[in-house]
Structure 1
Amino acid sequence: MRARQVHILEGSTFVVSDPAGDIDARPDEPAGLFYRDMRHLSRWQVRLNGRELEALSGDAIEYDEALFFLVSPTGSPYRNSSVVLIRRRHVGDGMQEHLQLDNHGTGPLRAEISLLFAADFADIFEIKDHLAKVGRFYHRLEQDRVVLGYERADLRRETTIEAPGAFFTESSLAYRVELQPGETWRTDIEISVATEHLRPVPKLSHQPNIPGTLDGWLAAAPRLETDWQDLHRVYRRSLVDLAALRFFPETVPNSSLPAAGLPWFMALFGRDSLLASYQALPFAPELCRTTLRALAAQQAAEFDDFRDAEPGKILHELRHGELTHFAERPHSPYYGSADSTPLFLVVLDEYERWTGDRATVRELEPAARAAMTWIEEHGDLDGDGYLEYRTRNPRTGLVNQCWKDSWNSIVHPDGTLAAGPPAVCEIQGYAYDARRRTARLAREVWRDPAWGMHLDADADALAQRFHRDFWLDDIGCYAFALDGAKAPVPTLTSNVGHLLWSGIVPDTAAERVVAHLTGDRLFSGWGIRTLASGQLAYNPVEYHNGTVWPHDTALVAAGLARYGYREQASRLAVATLEAARYFDDRLPEVFVGYDRHVTRMPVEYPTACSPQAWATGTPLLLLRVLLGLDPTPERLLSKPHLVAPIGSLALRGIPGRWGRDEVQGTP
C-alpha cells in the first residue's frame, strides 16, 4: 500500500511530505517543495540529537498549512516521551516552518535540533521520466542562511533557507537548546525560491495568490443548506480546494484560474481549467472569465510541429520548468489537445448565459472566430466534417489528444489499439455544441446573424452525419470512435455520456444510450466506468480503460438531466458524492472501477491527483444537476429532483446576471 502523504499547496507552489513533515524524495517521486514545475527542496528532515522522531499525528489543517506533532522515541511501549516537537508549515511562493519544542519532563533538557536539507532542482518531467540533471549545482553559506542553486545556460533556480540563530553546514542547520521543566522553545525558518527573473516574497498564512482571504472566498460562494451532513463537508472541501488550486496567469494580471491538479499538473491546462471553470460557474464565475482570457492570450497563431500548434488552436498545457525552457519538451505552451478548442467555445457561451458579461464576450470574439476556423479547417484532417487528431511531433507529442490521453485508451473491445488518426465520439459532440453556442453568440452578442445561421446549418448537418456514421444498431449505442480507415470502434465507454451533455443525440436514440450508462456494465455503483466491464479491454485499475473519473460521471449526469432522465441523473450524482466520504470528503482525480457491492467502498487509484481541478468541481456540477439550475436572461430557473439520502437542499446567494438568487427543493 502506498505510504500516506501530506500535501499543501497555494497556486504554483506546493509541498508533499510524509506524516512527520519530512521530505526525502527519490528521483522518481513527486515529494518535496515545488515552485513553477521544479523541485526546490528534495530533502527536509528534522532530527533531535541525531535521531528521527515519531509522528503522533500530521496532516493539512488548511489547504496551505500543515501541522505535525512529533515525539522523541523511548524504545519502550511502557514509557512515554516527555519531549514534543510541533512543526507548523505554511506554503505560498516559498515555505515557512515554525518549530516548537516542549519539555514536559521533570528535569532539564539539553538537545540539538537539526534539519537536513538538499535541493535537486528536478523538473517535474525529469521526475516522471527518470531523467538526470545536466546543469551545475552551487551553494553559498551566508550569515544565518544558505543559498542552494542550480544553473544551466540562461536558466537559474535558487532556494534560500534562512534560520536566525542556527549553525549551518552545506547540508544541515542546527539549534542547541536548553530547557527547564515546563519550558518551551520556538523558532521560525523561512524558505524562499527564485528563478532567473522572479524572486517572490513568501506569503504569510492565508495570504492567497489573489486579493482577499480564504474566509472571504468562502463567504462569497453560495450558502448550502441540506439535511445531508456529508454533503456539507464535501461542498466546503470543494470550495477550499478550488481556492488552493488558483494561481495568477501572467497574461491576465490580478485574476486567478485553477491549475489542473497536485502533484503532477500544477499548471494551466486548457481542457482541465475550462471544465473546472464550467463546473464552478454558479459558485465562482470569476474563474471562468480568467480562464477564457488566459487561453485566448495563448491561442496559437501559426503552425509549429514541435508544439502541435495550428492557427486558432487552444493550448493543452503550459509549463515553466527546465525541459520546456530548453525545448526538450514542447509544453511552453503545448497544443496537443483536440477538444480544448471546441470546449473553449462551449464555455464562452455558458459564461455569458450565467453572467451576462457581454464586454468579455465581445473582447474574445476574435479568439472565438479563430477557434471556429480551426474546427472547420485544421482540426478536420481529411475534410469529412469530423475532428480527428494526429500529433505533428511523433517524438514527444501526445499520441492521444482527447481527454483519455493515455497511449492505450483508444481500443477495440478485445484490447487491440485502434489505428489512427481517430475521430473520437465525444469530440464530435463538443464540436456540435460549440457550433450551436457560437451561433447564439453570433446572433445575440456579435450582431452577425448570417454567421449564426451558417453555424446552425453546420450543426444540423453534423448531427445527421454523426448519427449515420457512429450509431451501431446491433448494440444500441454509438461507437467510441472512427478509426483512421473510418471503421467504427465498437467499444462501450463512458464517452457516449458526453454526447448527451453536448446534445448531439437525437431523442429517438437517447433511451438506448441511457440504458447502457445506467446498466451494471458502465455504472459501478460509485460512478460511470470509463470502459464497460464484460469486454476484454476492461481493466478496473487501468487509467482510462475501466476506472471511474468523477468529472466524467458528472458530465454524464448532466447529460442525463438534459434529456429528461432526472431520476437516473440524481441517483448517479448521489452515488458519486457518497464516494467522497471515503477520501476525506475530497473526490480524487480517479478511483478504481470495481463494483460497489464487491468492495463496499471506492478503491483508491495509486497515482491519482488530489486535489484535482475537475474532480474538485464535480460536486458543484452535481449540485447543479440535483437542483436543475438553468440560467435565462431574466432569472435563474430551477427544477429540483432529489433522492435519498437528501431530504432537503437549498443554495442561497447564487451569483449571476440576475444578481444573487436562491433555490431550494425537497423530494
Structure 2
Amino acid sequence: MKDLVSILDGNTFLVSDRAGDIEPSYDFPTGLFSFDTRFLSSWVLKINGERLHTLSMDDRESYRTKFFLAPGEPTHYLDAKASVIRSRSIGGSFEEELTVLNHSGKQVEFTVRLEIGSDFADLFEIKHARQKQGRTTVSVTDNELRFTYRREAFHRETVVASSMPAQVDASGMTFDIRVDAKGEWTTRLCVSTVVYGARGEDIRATLPFGGGRSADVIRVEQQELIDRAPKLGCDCEPLAGAYRCSLNDLAALRYESITLGVRLIAAGLPWFMTLFGRDSIFTSLQVVPFLPELIPPTILMLAGLQGHRVDDFRDEEPGKILHELRYGETAGFEEQPHSPYYGSADSTPLFIILIDEYERWTGDSALIRRLEPQVRAALEWIDTYGDLLGTGYLWYQTRNPSSGLQNQCWKDSWDAISYADGQLPGFPRATCELQGYAYDAKIRAARLARTFWNDSEFADRLEREAADLKQRFNHDFWIAERGYYALALDADGRQVDALTSNIGHLLWSGIVDESRAGKVVGHLLGPRLFSGWGVRTLAEDQGRYNPIGYHVGTVWPFDNSIIAWGLWRYGYRAEAGLICDAMLAASRYFGGRLPEAFAGYARDLTDYPVEYPTACSPQAWSTGTPLLLLRVMLGLEPQGEHLIIDPAVPPGMGRIELLDIPGRWGRVDALGRSRDSQGGATDS
C-alpha cells in the first residue's frame, strides 16, 4: 500500500496510484469498490497525450484527497506551462473535480483525456485471477458513460457524468478546451455505483445513507463520533498521534450492512471491507472502553447470523458464529461459501467473551437477557461440533475441502500451524489459544447465567467444566523441557511444538497456571519472539520462520495488544509496558496508523519497522490497538459499578490523562505517570 492512495467512506472505497490514476490490476485491488465489486478498473488522466506526475498530495482526510500534478516527466517541471489539480471525495458516489491551470501568458489549447473502464471484478476474482461469467455493455449519451454488468439476476452499473461538455466514447471522455492566459478550466465528474436487488431496485437506496453524503456531512459525522470518545492528554507524541489516527480510522471504517441496514465496523482496507466474526469481536473488545455504543450492532448482527444448520459448503453448524460475510458475485453464485461463511473455530467463544465484557463496562443487562438463547447455543457448539474428537478440546477441520479455510484460528494462512521443524500437522487441529478462549467463555458465561438468567446450576456446571479444561490443558499442552505451551495438538494428540505468539493469548484468557506464567512471559519477551518492535508470530529459530511471512514471523499489532492485556492480567505490568512502548514507537514510522502487520526483523538490524508489502491499512484491529494499549497502561478494569484505575506507565512516557471514560459509572477520568517523570511515583 506504500505507493497507493486510498479514500473510503463505509461501503465504498477507492485505491489509486499517487497521481490519482487507476489501471486494471489482478495483483492488488486498485479501483473503485463497493460491496465487494470493482466499479472502476480504469481511471487514467492525460493532458495532450501525456501522463501526469505528482508535485504534491493532500490525503489527511479519509474521504477526500487532492493531487497537484504536472504533465510530462519530472525533469520538465521547471518549464511546465500548465498544472492540474484533482480534488476527489467519496460518499456513496465518487466525485472528482478536475482543474487545468494555464500558467503561460497566452491562451492555450489542451486535449484532456480520461480513460475510463469498469470490469465489475469481484474481490475474490482479483485475489484468484478468475474470469467474469457475465456480460458487460457500454452505452454513451451526452456527457455520460454507462457500464452495465449482468449475470442472471446479478446486476451492477457504473455511471460516469461530466458537468462540462465532453466527447464520450466507450472507453472514456475527451475534452478539447481553451484556457485563457493565467486562467483555469474545471469540470466535475461524478461516478455513481448502482447495486441492483432481485426485484430491480437499487438496494442502497433503502439504506439510511444509501444515496450518498457530501464531504461536509461525512466530516461532521466523523467528528461527532470522535468527540464522544474520551479526551487524551499526554507527554508522549507517538501515543497522542496514534490515538488521533485510531479514532479517525474507526470513524472511516464504519459501513452499512445490506442485510440489516445497521452501521458496523469493516475489518480492513482493501481486502476486508465487510463484517468478520473474529476481527469484529477483537476490535469491539479493544474499543468498548472508549466508544461502547459501537458494539451492540456487531453483537446483534453476529447473533442474528448465528449458524442454525449443518452446511458443509459454508462450514456452518448450529450455534457457530460466522467468519466472514460477503456481497459479491462469487458469493451470490456460491462459487465462494461467503454468504456467510463460518470457517473459524474461535469466533464462537470470542462472541461469548465480548458479550460479557460489554455488559461489565456498560451494565446493559437487557441485551444480556435478550441474547441468552444465542449464548447457550454457542456454548453447546463448543461442547459438540467444536469438539470434533470428543476429547474436551476445541478442534477444527473444514467441511469444505475445495474452498473452505484449512486453518480456522486467527493465523489462518495455510502454513501458519507447524511443528518446530517446519513440518505441518494433519487435521483436525486444536490450537492452544482456542482452548484458552473456550475456558474464558465458560467462566464468563457462568457469571451471566448466575447474574442474569437465574440459573445457578448451569453456572456451577460451566465453572466445573472450565476448571477441568484448565487442568487438562496444563497437562497436555505444556512442554516441560522447553518451558512453554505447544502451539497445538495434532489429530493423534501429539504436541505441535512450535514457539509462537499464541502463548500470549493464553495469558489473556487466564488458562495458564500461575506457576508457569513467568516462563511464558520470558519466552514472549525473549529475543526469539520479541523483535524490539513487538512479539513475532513465530520465533526466529523455528523451521518456518520468515520475517516477512504472513503468520510465520511478522509482527501483528493486534496480536501484541492482546498479549499486553494478558501480561497485565498476570501482573507483569513492566513487561506489558515494553510491548506498549514498542508498538507506539513503531507507529511513528507509519504516520500513527499501525498496519495489519509489519516485518519481524530485529530492531537493532533495521532501526525502523519494515513494511509488509500487502498489509491492510487501515485495519480495524490494528486501529483498535492503541486504545487497548491505553487501557493496559492505565490499568482500567470495570468492577461492579466502579472503574478500577491502576496505572503502570512505561518509563519515558511521562504523563497520560484520559478524560470522560464512559461506562456504567457515568464518566470518569484516569491519570498515570511514568515513575521517571517529574512528579515522582505513578498517580491515578
TM-score scaled to structure 1, two decimals? 0.97
Paired residues for 1:519-538 under 5 Å: 519-538=526-545
* Partner residue of 2:382 out of 370, 375, 392: 375
Do the aligned residues in 2 keep the contact of 1:271 with 1:340 (CA within 8 Å)?
A: yes
Paired residues for 1:350-365 under 5 Å: 350-365=357-372
Aligned to 2:593: 586
Aligned to 1:317: 324
Secondary structure of the corresponding residue to residue 207 of structure 1: helix
Shift >6 Å, 4+ stretches: none
Secondary structure of the corresponding residue to residue 78 of structure 2: coil
Shift of 1:251: 4.6
Do the aligned residues in 2 keep the contact of 1:526 with 1:576 (CA within 8 Å)?
A: yes
Aligned to 2:129: 130
Taking structure 1 as reference, are residues 79 and 576 closer, same or farther at Cα in structure 2, changes over 3 Å only? Answer: closer
Aligned to 1:69: 68
Q: How many residues align?
A: 663
Shift of 1:537: 2.1
> More displaced, 534-543 or 585-594?
534-543
Indicate whether 1:285 and 2:292 are aligned. yes
> More displaced, 370-379 or 46-55?
46-55
Do the aligned residues in 2 keep the contact of 1:8 with 1:15 (CA within 8 Å)?
A: yes
Taking structure 1 as reference, are residues 640 and 75 closer, same or farther at Cα in structure 2, changes over 3 Å only? Answer: closer
Aligned to 1:652: 659
Distance in 1 (CA, whole Å) between partners of 2:192 and 2:22 is 17
Shift of 1:539: 1.3
Aligned to 1:150: 149
Indicate whether 1:235 and 2:234 are aligned. no
CA RMSD after TM alignment: 1.5
Residues 173-216 of structure 1: CA deviation (Å, up to 9, x unaligned): 1223222223222221110111222254232114349xx61111
Secondary structure of the corresponding residue to residue 447 of structure 1: coil
Aligned to 2:516: 509
| Counterpart residue identity of residue 202, structure 1 | G
Distance in 2 (CA, whole Å) between partners of 1:77 and 1:252 is 54
Secondary structure of the corresponding residue to residue 156 of structure 2: strand
Distance in 2 (CA, whole Å) between partners of 1:567 and 1:168 is 65
Do the aligned residues in 2 keep the contact of 1:74 with 1:80 (CA within 8 Å)?
A: no
Work out the percentage of aligned pairs sharing the same amino acid.
49
Taking structure 1 as reference, are residues 206 and 306 closer, same or farther at Cα in structure 2, changes over 3 Å only? Answer: farther
Shift of 1:383: 1.1
| Counterpart residue identity of residue 237, structure 2 | Q
Aligned to 2:176: 176
Distance in 1 (CA, whole Å) between partners of 2:2 and 2:359 is 45
Residues 489-509 of structure 1: CA deviation (Å, up to 9, x unaligned): 111100000000000111111
Secondary structure of the corresponding residue to residue 571 of structure 1: helix
Aligned to 2:28: 29
> More displaced, 431-440 or 576-585?
576-585
Distance in 2 (CA, whole Å) between partners of 1:72 and 1:113 is 11
Aligned to 1:45: 44
Shift of 1:481: 0.4
Shift of 1:75: 7.5
Aligned to 2:678: none
Indicate whether 1:119 and 2:118 are aligned. yes
Taking structure 1 as reference, are residues 74 and 271 closer, same or farther at Cα in structure 2, changes over 3 Å only? Answer: closer
Aligned to 1:262: 269
Taking structure 1 as reference, are residues 398 and 655 closer, same or farther at Cα in structure 2, changes over 3 Å only? Answer: same
**Unaligned residue ranges in structure 1 (runs of 5+):** none
Indicate whether 1:215 and 2:223 are aligned. yes
Aligned to 1:13: 12
Shift of 1:3: 6.2
| Counterpart residue identity of residue 455, structure 2 | D
Distance in 2 (CA, whole Å) between partners of 1:274 and 1:208 is 25
* Partner residue of 2:470 out of 445, 463, 466: 463
Taking structure 1 as reference, are residues 661 and 78 closer, same or farther at Cα in structure 2, changes over 3 Å only? Answer: closer
Distance in 2 (CA, whole Å) between partners of 1:220 and 1:114 is 45
Aligned to 2:679: none
Aligned to 1:201: 211
Distance in 2 (CA, whole Å) between partners of 1:9 and 1:331 is 23
Indicate whether 1:611 and 2:621 are aligned. no
* Partner residue of 2:636 out of 626, 629, 633: 629
TM-score scaled to structure 2, two decimals? 0.95
Distance in 1 (CA, whole Å) between partners of 2:74 and 2:296 is 57
Do the aligned residues in 2 keep the contact of 1:526 with 1:578 (CA within 8 Å)?
A: yes
Do the aligned residues in 1 keep the contact of 2:53 with 2:74 (CA within 8 Å)?
A: no
**Unaligned residue ranges in structure 2 (runs of 5+):** 198-202, 205-209, 675-684
Taking structure 1 as reference, are residues 629 and 244 closer, same or farther at Cα in structure 2, changes over 3 Å only? Answer: same
Do the aligned residues in 2 keep the contact of 1:262 with 1:610 (CA within 8 Å)?
A: yes
Distance in 2 (CA, whole Å) between partners of 1:62 and 1:496 is 38
Taking structure 1 as reference, are residues 177 and 377 closer, same or farther at Cα in structure 2, changes over 3 Å only? Answer: same
* Partner residue of 1:541 out of 544, 548, 564: 548
Do the aligned residues in 1 keep the contact of 2:501 with 2:536 (CA within 8 Å)?
A: yes
